[in-house]
Chains A and B, each alone.
Chain A
Amino acid sequence: MTQLNAANTPAAGAHPDTPAAAQVTVTGLTVDGPAGVVVKPFDFSIAPGETLALIGESGSGKTLSAKAIAGLLPAGFTARGTIELASATIELPATDAVWRATRGRRISLLLQDPFTSLSPVHRCGTQIAMTIQAASATRLSKAECTELVTQRLAEVNLPAEVARAYPHELSGGMRQRVAIAAALATDPELLIADEPTTALDASNQGEILDLLRGLQEKRGMAALLISHDLGMVRGRAEHVLVMRHGEIVERGVTSSVLNAPSHPYTRALIEADPSLTDRSAGVVRAASGAGAGGDAATGVGDLVVATDVTKSFGDKTVLHGVSVTVGRGETVGIVGESGSGKTTIARCIAGLEHESSGVIAFHGVALAPGRASRTPKQMQIVFQDPYSSLNPMISVGRSLKLALRVAGRPASDLNGLLQLVELPLEFARKRPAELSGGQRQRVAIARALAVQPELLICDESVSALDVSVQKQILDLLAKLRVELGLSILFISHDLAVVRQLADRVYVLRHGDVVESGLCHDVLTAPTHPYTQALVAASIHEAPTH
């Protein structure tokens, strides 16, 4: 194979062993797609040891820009521009031979999802060792490799035993540490991190970002941090670029951009950012307080009372006696990380899982476990992923008419239903594929509301959406609860999102309710150490006002 030899061309051999001490400069970076320019030309430079954040929502072109710099654009896309590194200058589009000498040694790319970015059938140590070997000029012995792998693991605060583990044996945070060790094993001059913490739980996110920051400062390595999350960038990047529709709309020093944004889009992003401050939450809660939300406070009656619900899958117990109450017209949040049991309790209430023990009562009448004992009018559920919860083969109108028929309502109610979720009437003819994520989630909500349920269960219903869309959907839910007097059970891993909508909140951890109470009290003065840690983790990422 010629590729192996080509990697040792003189250009590659010139790579210095010491960390680079010059800045990374990219000029005129442009990405062309099959239908014309996707990313318009832009320049940036990053000083050694510093971080530049590239912020944008999905579809803004930020990931394509990252892939262009790493030479990993998908077929059909080409890049133009110049990348100047300490050891080489790369003119885009570059040949395969140039990229072989560049990728890993000079520029490395860390991907979003540690669950898929490591090969599941290779041991973690092997995957790190491969990278070390690929960048080494000489053939390393087994003992040398083991030694180097242990060093790399120690750098990311992992014990040497992790080398023997397969990725599925590690937690998400540990996997991302292994991926960081693998990405940095070649000592690149520039690390591109594409949403490196989006797939992780809140308490892991801060740790991973701070680890990256430390490693980067130690090596004098430049970093390009790609993110959709403005809050995450504060305190972790010197400069920030805001990209929208393939164009840089704002750039500058991070703190000045966040505190005094000049472009309306940046302002909108900051407004939409679900922070723990009262500023954005106030809008929604003011609306809800005027209507049905008021009833809940006066205690008209409980709609759903789940008492001591336990659930085991095989010999694994995921719920250890969880009690949750949703009052009439009340919005209740359940917060927890993945594996906390928050989705399981919601599914038990909806009858999609059979609880092992405990009582779930609706209007004071106990319901037998399972779907059969429940009617559609009692409760409906809106799932996380609007891309998979709608049938792609039938039009929006037909989906909704089917739901109306179940409720025994005439098909002519369709227009009213679309208006309710603020969708144009002509959307009835469209198929899910023609809709954006936010529009699809509106359709999913409309479908759930077609039967006029008393309780709406939202299982991570906004987590798959961009922040600005998230805010629109949350506003819609707030409006609906006022207009229809809905009770909402809102499941989320995201404290800030729950804060915007919920009257009361339960914090779930390992199948136990560790804390519950009025949303405002729990999130501003948490008493349980776990809640305190969660709140601290999300405040750290949120912009302060």
Chain B
Amino acid sequence: MTQLNEASPVQDDAVLRVTDLRTWFPVKSRGLLRRKIGDVKAVDGISLSVAPGETLGLVGESGCGKSTAGRTMLKLIDPTSGSVELNGRDITHLSRKEMVPLRREAQMIFQDPYNSLNPRHTVGTIIGTPFRVQGVDPAGGVKAAVQQLMERVGLNPEHYNRYPNEFSGGQRQRIGVARAIALQPKLIVCDEPVSALDVSIQAQVVNLLADLQDEFGMSYILVAHDLSVVRHISDRVAVMYLGHIMELAPRSDLYERPLHPYTHALLSSVPVPEPGAAAKRERILLQGDLPSPINPPSGCVFNTRCWKVQEQCRVDVPLLREYQPGHFLACHFPEEKLHIGETIVGPQAPLVDNDYSLQSPEERAEEAARARRGEAWERDEPGDFGLGSKIQ
């Protein structure tokens, strides 16, 4: 095995520094006493940082905790433990009220352009909300600033007084983007920003995000399940599985020389629009269900579905360590090569009782949203963050 280096994935000069972050949702018993019987370990000890102007992709399948992680980093959900630093300031224990001024520096874009905008507010009001909440008086007035923003994101400024339902999905996402960049934040967490959009519209929004980053130099955390989109706009990518980061590496390293077996499986599953390409690629089929985040497997959480599993994997938790410069990995038996042309079938992981009542609201929402693209759960509550106290 290559010598392991004790470097940390958390850099010093970062916009956002996340150390050993945990977000657990308590699960109560059904009996008379409603005792706490466990936790949904949605995010279970992740560490990462985002450099200025950088895009960090956070990928994984539903239930891996990527969405919860993104929200916890902006304190939309309170972390269970660990710390979050925004621009060098520890925000882990700040109250909602104390967070308000910090919302200038960090904003969020949501998946669902249909439900994340208040249908009773005009576009002008929605995009102008950050100015009002933060008490910012832009030169020339809020309306002029909003219209400038609309123009910048490719909306017609004359539509200032229209309502969200008068816009198409792609345009609504542009409204969300305009709201997020209004105060020129240092960081934007984009939670599945294009997955609810049609294919031909996705590219428009992806380009918009890239152009805005070139222009304003903010950092992005891109939470997404579409590995192609993540690859296209991320500088570095973190792969999550069951609340843990399995691999964190510069984009090209991760996509071309993935080291974690799960990353291999994930990448090999992405269908490419090239007839006959399948034969020239890796082919790794995972089997069985994702384990329950209440009772994650001991040792490496991926061990129930990993085709390389050894006894050690069931006992020792692999730590996220720097395996190659900048390439962090949590695996006891890293992959040394690609398996082009081979077909690998993972072990049959036990089926998990998908107990509805035990799912965290996050997960249930994620599942629901994935199930019907374009009809999700967010509600815009202007005043706090363009999003209120919905997670409780």
Q: Do A and B share a complex? A: no
Which residues of A does B touch, CB under 8 Å? none
